Structure 1
Amino acid sequence: MKHKTTFEKLPQANTGRSKNWKTLQAICLLLFLSVSFTAYSQITVNVKEISLRASLKKIEQVSNYKFFYNESLPELNQKVSLNVKDATIEQTMQQLLGKMELTYKKEQENVIVLIRKSQEKQETKKVTGIVVDEKGEPIIDASVQVKGESNGTITNIDGYYSLMNVPESATLIISYIGYRTVNLSVKNQNTSKITLVEDSKMIDEVVVVGYGVQRKRDVSTAISSIRASDIADVAATSIEQALVGRMAGVQITQPNGTPGAGFEVKVRGVGTVTAGSSPLYVIDGVPLSDDTGDATGITVSPLASIETSDIESIEVLKDASAAAIYGSRGSNGVVIITTKQGKEGKPVVKYNGYAGAQIVTDKIDVLNAYEYSQLVFDGHNNAYYDQLRVAGKADLYNPNATNQERWNNLKTGSMIENQGWMLPPEILPYVRGEEGLVDTDWQDTVLRTGFITKHNLSVSGGNKNIKYMLSGNYQNEEGIVINSDFTKMGFRVKVDVNYNRWKFGGNINLTRNIYNLVNTEGRYGDDGVLSLALGAAPIYPVRDENGDFNYEHNHTSYGQSKLNNPVAVATLIEDQMISIQMLGTA
């Protein structure tokens, strides 16, 4: 029995359902767009007399809009009022900004950027370029920003930068730590290659620490530093004199006023009783010995070979790290001096010089010839009266008795003048008050105004491969004591060479110092000129009637002390020291 199955085509009942489904989809899309539009367009806000900034934040709270603006806009603090209900963003902003010189633009559907009306009309462009240093090397992470706007960026590893939407009238600010900030007009200046120059005022961010160069903020050791600009205008005859009072923890004193004499430098005070207290000096990486010689009353400074104008920087290492680097020689601290070097560019000629004078501002107040004679007269009479009293002859005392009468009252035989109770005859005219007598101020005879002249001439320059610096200096310093002076002549050459991967150079410094010395520190018995000047009697002249030095006070009669003529001592005793120092590094 066979079964026969018959398939019949049924009516398409779902055709209408498909049309209804499409209609439903269209209605849902319209509803979604309507809801979305309503969400962004319906703004209801009612505020009175609050700042524009606060009003924008209120709109952000009741809608999905986000506002962006430059915080420097003064209008942000302006008081405004706003009263809208179910308003669009266009209606809201029109009422809010009113007559302000502000407008807005939509960056995205719900992002509103507040700008000035003048900016709206400006054309913008893309600005690109590279930032390099003076050597042409790219500077990484340099800041490039549009002045007055938040639009900015930093350079990449190759020094390149790129900025979008930069107004044609804008100004770019390019900055980097340790370099001078550059302002460039986008319209009138080339921004494709920007060169930054090191700022000398910020170089002190970098210090030399003996084992290399580090940024000062990264150094944990105790360091004081001074740059060339700090002492450029200081009228000083030596490096130590220029540093007085400029470094914390560094004590610099002048033991005497001898021209060219070294100073005493102590770092952290005196740390030992038996050993020396002077620091170690390191010039361009070369430690110097402090055994540079001495002479009458002075010690030659290790820094006498360096001209102040040739110094680039001075660092003083003050803690235990100095000993860790330089051993026991650095136990009293280390003074590191770096000299100047040539820079790339055309030859630069510089001259530094000054002239000055040293004067005595306050002399010691001593007796004049008349006061001195009266004092000697009274002193010898006191001794005479004392001798008479001991001999039981006090009733014979007469202050005006002659030396022969005094002798007859106390002694017998021939008269001997070497007696303290007898009167020196040279004082008697002064005691009687005679006028026009010799009255010598011995301080004036040995002291003077000392003139100082100092000159430095340098030539520097170079290119990428070689840099050079040559300098010569001359200094003449007269001491305030007659016939004392110091003369210094020096010459320095410093060359740095860059050839492919090789770097080498040399530095030679040659100095000749001449010291004409006068003993100013010794006792009067050791021919110390100042002691002699204070002790010499003002009743004697410097020279006699023949023009020769007067030595009348160089005797012991009448109980007086033996003194040399201080002017003769300063003039006739020759004490000259010549010091030649050469410092070379390579």
Structure 2
Amino acid sequence: MNYFIKCKDYLFGNRMAEPSFAPLISKKVKATLFLGLLFTYGVYGKTEAQQVTLHINKGNLKSVFTEIKKQTGYHFFYDESLFNDLKQVNVDVSNQKLENVLKKLSDELPLQFEMHKNHIIVLPGAPKSMPQTLQQQSTIKGQLVAKKDGKPIENATISINGGNSRTSSDSKGNFSLQTVQAEGTLTISHLSFKPQTVRFNSATASALTIALEENDSALEEVVVVGFGTQKKVNLTGAISHVGKEAFENRPVANIGQALQGLVPNLNITFGNGSPNSTPGFNLRGGTSMNYNSNTGVFESVNGDPLVIIDGVESSTGALNQLNPNDIMDMSFIKDASAAAIYGTKAAYGVILVRTKRGEFNQKGKIAYNFDSNFDTPSGLPDILNAYEIQKSGMDRTLWTNGKPGTSDEKKLEMIQKYMDNPTPENAWYQEGNSIIWVANVNPFEEAVKKWTPMQKHTLNLSGGAESINYYISGGMQNQSGMYKINTDKLKRYNALMNINAKVNNWFSVFGKIGFDQTNFNSPYIVGGKGSIWSAMMGETNKNINMPIQTGPNDPLPNTYTDNILAWLSYGANNQSMDRRVSLLISPEFTLIPNALKLKADLSYQPQSYSLSRYSPKFNQVVDSWQYTSQQAEAAENRAYFDNNNTNKYLVNIYADYKKTWPRNIISLL
């Protein structure tokens, strides 16, 4: 199990009882560090048993942890919210093993403990069940109203803290919940209101009236809309907004992973699990129709949205190359207003991105961020072994009025011999001049890792004076693929410098230099062999009965076979480099104070893409003890090089007029 470490206060000397440590649902590890500090997390290991003596009467858990730390040196990591509503504890033990003391606490409290070297992590456990005779259901009833005008609140979520019960309020604001708790706390959440926590007990649970305060700050939030900005309260279009908090402190490899589940009607798809896989974005579902001449029917078409980064037209590929920690906010325009601003390019919606800036009159600060996560396969096929495949084929022949041949029976016998003694010599036998392969290879177990790591480092410097601010960032990402054999590897480098200067009261200028480069090495399967996954499914006997290589004592020792994993292993590979540079200068002239501005975006975007492919000569053994090559592309050493360079220039000049009255706003672009 992996965990999210929240220990900034502890590291900087603002001593808590212990730093917090809470579990993540996904299998990821996130550690946030600042320059000059190093936090080392350890791997679970077996430790020497330690004896503990405790005599605590009606004490709290923190005092128990403090005493254990004094006696053993173990540090406790926990989230203080776990201790809400917990009873006081009595601990009376003498010279007991630490593991036994922790088990005693775990049996009495809804907590569990995990020991990692010299750390003990406190995690939420399953609530302790009461005897059946004592568990009595009670009903919590209440009404939600707006604090401002007393109107009922519909579709708010009400949940019981520490339990699994939750519900939503109806059109009259009423709600009802079943629980076995005699007292506790409710949490109420709604998009338009501030979250609120309310206590209940047996006396108040049947008639709660809860007044929620409107979340005015969300309505005052500034959202990028086309070439300008608006407050959420003034928006009438289908526009969603995501702030920087969605990207900070999250161990994600790209923007697509960070946005999953955050934006209504934003559909994100991943083609495969490759580190270089680019997520696809769709804002409206099926947005067009296309006639398929092969099937004779019309099909729904999903188009890509227009991507604008800092006012400059870009692509989803460039978006996913950005460092998520450099994003300030994103807006998603999903209705026809997108086309009104950007024309037909925005027919499938618009994604607007702003990168981070510094702040005026801010002291310079340096921050270092380290992300690490471990990806695992979502699932692997549970396939038949070589004996089961051969036996089922013979049974099929028998059940269809046929009779298995002696060669089939001999192969079944030899497969069983190999499975009883899996040596290279038993992986084959000869019939005339032909090799009959009888090994038992599970390609998925041989080729796919159980987990693979990703690491990302980001260092940024920001600050500002009265008339200038700056944000400078550099990042590096290192990620491996899921193959055990000749796996793919990705390295990504990001650099960003944003400078904003107020020259005088009528002229300001914004400048940006962005650099993103992705280097990707991946195995190459020569033409004619298809993909690894289709070969595993479509050529069962070959990829299960053939070992990857012959044995050291075989007639042609240590030679690759025609197993698809041999093609993966022998050394053919692709090396690609995708480099993008963005140079932007945006002057702004104030013609009428607080009303009319003249703006321009002058951008230059060079992009380079190169691909180098090397496929060495591949000598293999297939069905006889002779060197051969099943594919022409592998019959000799081959190399392939491709290089593409693109230069893109963009000039935008526009005026922005905005006039505000107490109850009305006019905005022209």
Normalised by the size of structure 2, how large is the TM-score? 0.46
TM superposition shift of 1:281: 0.4
1:447 and 1:432, CA in 2 relative to 1: closer, same or farther beyond 3 A? closer
TM superposition shift of 1:450: 1.6
TM superposition shift of 1:246: 0.7
1:284 aligns to what? 310
1:371 aligns to what? 388
Cα distance in structure 2, aligned partners of 1:431 and 1:381: 20
Asked if residue 544 in structure 1 is aligned to residue 550 in structure 2, the reply is: yes
Structure 1 residue corresponding to 2:222, chosen from 206, 225, 230? 206
For 1:433-475, what per-residue CA distance to the aligned partner results, in whole angstroms no more than 9, with x for missing partners?
Answer: 8612343211012111221101111001120121111100111
Secondary structure, counterpart of 1:246 in structure 2: coil
1:540 and 1:380, CA in 2 relative to 1: closer, same or farther beyond 3 A? farther
Q: Which sections of structure 1, spanning at least 5 residues, go unmatched?
A: 1-198, 291-300, 387-396, 402-421, 555-563
- Do 1:209 and 1:315's aligned partners in 2 also have CA atoms closer than 8 Å? yes
Cα distance in structure 2, aligned partners of 1:265 and 1:570: 34
Cα distance in structure 1, aligned partners of 2:235 and 2:286: 25
TM superposition shift of 1:202: 5.1
Identity %: 25
1:248 and 1:234, CA in 2 relative to 1: closer, same or farther beyond 3 A? same
Secondary structure, counterpart of 1:375 in structure 2: helix
1:276 and 1:269, CA in 2 relative to 1: closer, same or farther beyond 3 A? closer
Secondary structure, counterpart of 1:517 in structure 2: strand
Secondary structure, counterpart of 2:357 in structure 1: coil
1:106-255 aligned within 5 A: 205-255=221-271
Secondary structure, counterpart of 1:458 in structure 2: strand
1:324-403 aligned within 5 A: 324-343=340-359, 344-378=361-395, 386=402, 399=404, 401=406
- Do 2:220 and 2:233's aligned partners in 1 also have CA atoms closer than 8 Å? no
1:580 aligns to what? 579
1:306 and 1:436, CA in 2 relative to 1: closer, same or farther beyond 3 A? same
- Do 1:518 and 1:529's aligned partners in 2 also have CA atoms closer than 8 Å? no
Cα distance in structure 1, aligned partners of 2:504 and 2:477: 41
TM superposition shift of 1:431: 4.7
Cα distance in structure 1, aligned partners of 2:244 and 2:327: 6
- Do 2:386 and 2:441's aligned partners in 1 also have CA atoms closer than 8 Å? yes
- Do 1:282 and 1:336's aligned partners in 2 also have CA atoms closer than 8 Å? yes
Q: Which sections of structure 2, spanning at least 5 residues, go unmatched?
A: 1-214, 291-300, 423-438, 586-669
TM superposition shift of 1:499: 1.9
- Report the residue type matching 1:352 in the other structure: N
1:432 and 1:514, CA in 2 relative to 1: closer, same or farther beyond 3 A? closer
TM superposition shift of 1:376: 4.3
- Name the structure where strand makes up a greater proportion of residues: 2
Bigger Rg over Cα = 1
- Name the structure where helix makes up a greater proportion of residues: 1
Secondary structure, counterpart of 1:513 in structure 2: strand
1:256 and 1:400, CA in 2 relative to 1: closer, same or farther beyond 3 A? closer
TM superposition shift of 1:271: 1.1
1:85-100 aligned within 5 A: none
Secondary structure, counterpart of 1:367 in structure 2: coil
1:426 and 1:516, CA in 2 relative to 1: closer, same or farther beyond 3 A? farther
- Report the residue type matching 1:244 in the other structure: Q
- Do 1:279 and 1:335's aligned partners in 2 also have CA atoms closer than 8 Å? yes
Cα distance in structure 2, aligned partners of 1:373 and 1:426: 8
1:533 and 1:400, CA in 2 relative to 1: closer, same or farther beyond 3 A? closer
Normalised by the size of structure 1, how large is the TM-score? 0.52
TM superposition shift of 1:494: 0.8
Asked if residue 428 in structure 1 is aligned to residue 413 in structure 2, the reply is: yes
TM superposition shift of 1:200: 13
Asked if residue 447 in structure 1 is aligned to residue 435 in structure 2, the reply is: no
TM superposition shift of 1:306: 1.4
1:474 and 1:239, CA in 2 relative to 1: closer, same or farther beyond 3 A? same
- Do 1:445 and 1:567's aligned partners in 2 also have CA atoms closer than 8 Å? no
Cα distance in structure 2, aligned partners of 1:302 and 1:272: 25
1:286 and 1:432, CA in 2 relative to 1: closer, same or farther beyond 3 A? closer
Cα distance in structure 2, aligned partners of 1:228 and 1:311: 6
- Do 2:318 and 2:580's aligned partners in 1 also have CA atoms closer than 8 Å? no
Cα distance in structure 2, aligned partners of 1:203 and 1:487: 40
TM superposition shift of 1:254: 1.2
What is the alpha-carbon root mean square deviation over aligned residues? 2.9
1:200 and 1:519, CA in 2 relative to 1: closer, same or farther beyond 3 A? farther
